[in-house]
Structure 1
Amino acid sequence: MVNTPTDGRGYGELLKQVTEQNGAIGELQHRIAEAQASLAVLMNAIAPYAPIYRLPTETLSAIFVMGHNEECDPSKPSAGWRFTFRSSICQVSRRFRDVATQTAPLWCNLDIRLRRNMTGKLPHLYVQTCIERSKSCPLNISIEILCCCSRCSPAQCYFSIVAEHIIPHLDRVRVLEFNIGNLNEIYIPFFQEMGAAKAPLLEEYRCIVGEHNIDDWLSTSGSYHTFAGGSPRLTSITYEGRVYSSRLLPSLHTVTTLSLGGIGSYQGMSAILADFPLLDALVVGPMSVDLEDPTGKPPILVPSLRSFTTSGCESHWWCGVLQAPLLESLSIDSTITPYIHSALSIIRDTGKFPLLRSLSVETDSQPDDEEEALKTIDSQFIKATPLLTHLTLDAPFPSIEAFLPILCPTQHCDEGDSVPWPHLQSVQLDPYFEFMLSELAADRIQKGYPIGTLGMGDQVLTDGFDAEGRNVTDMIV
């Protein structure tokens, strides 16, 4: 059944009215478009009066740099670099983009990742753009070749082109990170250029290599130590690789900070540490193989070392073999409590770190019995580390429970000594033992040896006061 108008209008009249309505709609749409265009003109005219647009270019540029540096810190490995802030501000407005492209520090970090299948902007064009926009600012360059095939691949071919853009600017490099898994003859020209170059601004060098005999390979290729022209500002080196080769590193006589990973032999460790005469801070990550028993072998002497951090299962090995008479800071992170127990036992029994002022121990494993708990930190350990001022223990409940009596008011490290570690200024313990926090702080205050900062879990006492400003001596009944 077909519905028909009840007012008697025919088809022709209805069609005419439809046409009229479409015309009215079209006229309204045209007026709306004109209004939107006029509004856009007004918005462009009023934009300069907005506070952000009235900022001087120098101020806006400084804001951009601060935001960019928060997510792209060159002092951290390139895996933590992010460029979302820079990308976002370039899309806000034409002025923002113009200011960003003219702000050289925004373009100093070059994160170059070459893969078998390259997508997006070609890497050499990206490098060229960053180098041009960074002007004369120091460069922070990370090159990672994520291709392990031995034959020539797109990633390796692009590396040659990228290297051609980087080599003329090696004298501007402040941080250089080089991560390569498979050695190939295509890299030889780059190593040779680095070998003869000067690096007057280089401060940090990170080198991550595969499991090849790098030293033999470089000897065959004719490559020698990098930056033979000099790198007087170099102070920090990170080296990860199964085989150590000084040929991949610049001159080491100015280096004070070293991070190691992967090397797994006494000979390798001894060789690499001997090359750093001014080493002040050493960070060692997990090793690729088990280190052999160093018993009967000469200790590895690092006479200037003041800070040592080790993570993994080799903490006991390091505490046994390392000879660092000036060591002041020691950090141990291991998932195996017996190894930590062994490391601390060595420190206690030998007294080899008498100047130790800061000790941090972290483990997340659950000991099976009391023998595996951190009971090694006892009165004898305190005697072996008399100058300790900062202590951090992050361990399961049984481990902390075994240690707490050492610091409790009723315990003494020896007859006649009422306060263990009299120089102690900060203590951080996890997990939280509420019933001992206030008592410990109050006892130290009453005996004239207050702990400036005492933390257990999320609870922190500063100079004897809790977060609510209450004096702990008034809280003890």
Structure 2
Amino acid sequence: MNEASLSCIRAKIEALSTFLVPVFRLPQEVLVQIFKAGGRMPHDGPVTEHAVPRPFPLVVASVSRQWREIAVNTPELWTNVTIKHPRPYGWVPLCLQRSCGQPIDITIDCRSTSLLTAPVVDNMMTLLMPHVHRWRRFALMTSDPAIVYTIGRRLADASAPQLRHLQLSLSGSSGNQEVLLHDILQGGAEALSSIRFDSLATPWGSAPLINLTTIDLRWLWLRTRLQYDQFRDMLAASPRIRALILRGTYIYLHSGRTYPPLSIPTLRYLELSGDNVCRMSSLLATPALEELTLANLDETEFREFVDSLPDGRDGGRYPALRALSLLNASMCTPTRRFMLALPTISHLTVINSATAKFLELFRKEHAEDGLLSWPRLRQLTLVDDVDYFLLYGVVQERAALHLPLSRLVLNAPFIHDDYLVSTLEEYVEVNIIKDVDLDH
């Protein structure tokens, strides 16, 4: 009897000891903010060990009675409706119920499973369409054109007064798939400010694709690719555009033909890729541009782009540019002229783009009149194979010449030794990233 009593006492002590865990002593309002932040984070892999990833709100609601009560009574936690699998079967109606009329963000990602077929997605849209009036964001990613057409039929005459961002992305074999939607959101989407279309076209420059601030066009093939006049009219319909992304193939420019320049005075971010980067960069007049990204360039295209840049000492093409990103660019060795053409750079990001060539140019022996390249450079992000000793030399020399870097971002595969990090941290703040989403 004593042993049994002692066992019960120990079990009670163990149960009560859980309340000593710091996380269970956090105030409810703090937990609410943590849960909201977790609900907005992307979860690409399983949250638990189950074969089917469980949505974040369901995970936190299963931890304890207190957490479940907080989760169930926090409508904002259920507004991120991410669908990557038909299961759990009650997930969509549960979100629609517990979000309690709040604006909702919908993501349907069919790329990782064959179970999200067009009929299955159509059934889900039957549940979602009665709530279209409170959609804030809608994103579809698929490799099946039938699913895009299914969504297109649902959205053709719909009215989405709160919709701010629309993404319709069709991915697949190069040039083999593309979709034309003749009508979309004809009932009205007056709040729409951002779009992303992959391998998809719809009437450009007409409602609801007007007064946009972000336009993201990727991989427009034979039937969906814009002509110059279409592109010009689309830009004219959005006079306050701030971000323009043109990736892959997007606009057809006839070889040997001269086109009038297109002025975009409000543009702050520009991404160009493909085989006509040089022509597009010369065609667009962007005096207020602050961030420029060049992606998927071969060495010839990069050389032509550099040769087309005017001297930056008189303002150049990008007088306000502060951030340059290079993604998958096969570059010739950057020259001093390249640096002089873009003298205002303070943030440089290099992803799979010949990092060593840039670092060599930053070395002291390449300085002219005692001035290092890009004297305003403060943040350097390198997601590539990096020579540690070359990098350390650059960081040390810039600090000695009173042009120090303030932040260095490196990818985890490069830094595998804490000692290497500590030696760099003598001169600069070092941040390590584990992966990079090259699709965004």
**Structure 1 length as normaliser, TM-score?**
0.65
Q: Distance in 1 between matches of 2:178 and 2:393?
A: 56
In structure 1, the residue matched to 2:277 is: 315
Is residue 2:217 matched to residue 1:279? no
Q: Distance in 1 between matches of 2:116 and 2:295?
A: 40
In structure 1, the residue matched to 2:88 is: 121
In structure 1, the residue matched to 2:193 is: 235
Indicate the SS of the match to 1:334: strand
Shift in CA distance, 246/148, structure 1 to aligned 2, threshold 3 Å: farther
1:112 CA drift (Å): 2.5
In structure 2, the residue matched to 1:426 is: 378
Shift in CA distance, 229/456, structure 1 to aligned 2, threshold 3 Å: closer
Is residue 2:321 matched to residue 1:360? no
**Structure 2 length as normaliser, TM-score?**
0.69
Q: Distance in 2 between matches of 1:455 and 1:45?
A: 45
1:299 CA drift (Å): 3.2
Q: Distance in 2 between matches of 1:306 and 1:251?
A: 20
Contact 1:336 1:365 in 2 (8 A): yes
Q: Which runs of 5+ in 2 are unaligned?
A: 45-52, 172-176, 416-422, 429-440
Contact 1:325 1:352 in 2 (8 A): no
Matches within 5 A, 1:223-262: 223-226=183-186, 228=188, 230-231=190-191, 234-246=192-204, 250-253=208-211, 255-262=212-219
1:251 CA drift (Å): 4.2
1:341 CA drift (Å): 1.8
Shift in CA distance, 250/142, structure 1 to aligned 2, threshold 3 Å: farther
Q: Distance in 1 between matches of 2:119 and 2:392?
A: 62
Shift in CA distance, 225/302, structure 1 to aligned 2, threshold 3 Å: farther
Q: Which runs of 5+ in 1 are unaligned?
A: 1-27, 74-81, 413-417, 460-464, 471-477
In structure 2, the residue matched to 1:18 is: none
Q: Distance in 2 between matches of 1:242 and 1:154?
A: 20
Please point out which of 86, 95, 98 is paired with 2:66: 95
- Quick check: which has more Rg, 1 or 2? 1
Contact 2:346 2:376 in 1 (8 A): yes
In structure 1, the residue matched to 2:334 is: 374
| Alignment-mate amino acid for residue 92 of structure 2 | V
In structure 2, the residue matched to 1:205 is: 166
Q: Distance in 1 between matches of 2:111 and 2:409?
A: 43
In structure 2, the residue matched to 1:130 is: 95
Residue-pair matches, total: 389
Contact 1:388 1:421 in 2 (8 A): no
1:131 CA drift (Å): 0.9
In structure 2, the residue matched to 1:23 is: none
Is residue 2:102 matched to residue 1:142? no
Could you tell me the percent identity over the aligned residues? 19
Alpha-carbon deviations, 1:283-310, whole Å to 9, x = none?
Answer: 2333389875374233344332122123
Contact 2:220 2:249 in 1 (8 A): yes
Shift in CA distance, 214/422, structure 1 to aligned 2, threshold 3 Å: closer
Is residue 2:267 matched to residue 1:305? yes
1:318 CA drift (Å): 2.7
